[in-house]
Amino acid sequence: MAAAIRARGLEKRYRTVHALRGVDLEVEQGEFFALLGPNGAGKTTFISILAGLVRATAGRAEVMGHDVVTDYREARRRLGVVPQELVFDPFFTVRETLRIQSGYYGLRRNDAWIDELLHHLGLTGKADTNMRRLSGGMKRRVLVAQALVHRPPVIVLDEPTAGVDVELRQSLWAFIRQLNREGHTILLTTHYLEEAETLCERVAMLKDGHIVALDRTEHLLGADSERRLELRLSPARLPEALKGRLIDCDDDRFCLALPDYGELEAMLAALRLEGIQVEELNVTQADLEDVFLRVMRQP
């Protein structure tokens, strides 16, 4: 079975920028996959190559086994992209916009699916509203509908929830999860790392055009599994017995390594023995944001 997305040795050079540097990546059919990285890492360039908006300098990319250059028609039929930018035609209503988008794919009788998209994305009441009169959040919903109007098996979401309200975020993810359960492959880029941690089975991290991490989400989190005990103390000092566990400190707050929950009572007993009062206590464990920051700081 062909991978949903496959890249081999993908390079992209502009005049002064080397945006992608030999990227190798495979996303299997039915996966919910995250592509993460700081601004300028190459995420949008990678997506633009998949969508046929940018031609790679070297290497090749495929969507569902179809080369995005030599078999571009079939590759694009199988791909739906929700871009970062709010791009719309101000002369049409929401429904007209989706009908025109359907026409690009030769779909003449697509109103039943359009109605379903409008329903799931909370756009039914705006179906006959001109695009100019929509709020930014509503326009983003229409972008999602446009990407899905031809029922592509592979869906790319490039920062889909940037600047949108909580209601849209929840309804969008509920719908996207449903599509994923039905077999659609989802590729997500986002700066909201809690979304990627919750939704995605595997994560790739891009830095300066290179993939610097690629693994299942739970494995990445497991590599940073150290628990931390955060304390606010009065007086603001640590007993000698605990100084070897100190990770960080800030005024009256201390962050200590906590390898095992069973050691917590002994640590608190050491504080009581010194007459140090615990005013605030919090036990934390690394999340995807911690993993991301650690990976990005590596040389």
b/e 230-256 (16+ beta carbons within 10 angstroms → b): bbbbeeeebeeebeebeeeeeeeebbb
pLDDT of residue 223: 66
pLDDT of residue 44: 92
Per-residue pLDDT of the chain (299 residues; tens, 9 = 90+): 789 999 999 999 998 899 999 999 999 999 999 999 999 899 999 999 999 999 999 999 999 999 999 999 999 999 999 988 888 888 999 999 999 999 998 888 899 999 999 998 889 999 999 999 998 888 888 998 999 999 999 999 998 877 677 877 888 888 899 999 999 999 999 988 999 999 999 999 999 999 999 999 988 887 656 678 899 999 999 999 999 888 888 877 898 888 778 889 999 999 999 999 999 999 887 788 888 988 898 87
Query: Domain spanning 5-222: which superfamily?
Result: P-loop containing nucleotide triphosphate hydrolases (3.40.50.300)
Which residue has 């600047």 as its token pair? 163
How is 36-82 classified by DSSP, letter by letter?
E--TTSSHHHHHHHHHTSS--SEEEEEETTEETTTTHHHHHHTEEEE
Indicate the fold that domain 226-297 takes in CATH. Answer: Alpha-Beta Plaits (3.30.70)
pLDDT of residue 224: 58
pLDDT of residue 2: 80
Which of 69, 58, 67 shows the shortest CA–CA distance to 10? 58
Q: Where are the domains of the chain?
A: 5-222, 226-297
Task: With 0.95 as the threshold, say if the pTM is over it.
Answer: no
Helix or strand run (H / E) with residue 206: strand 202-207
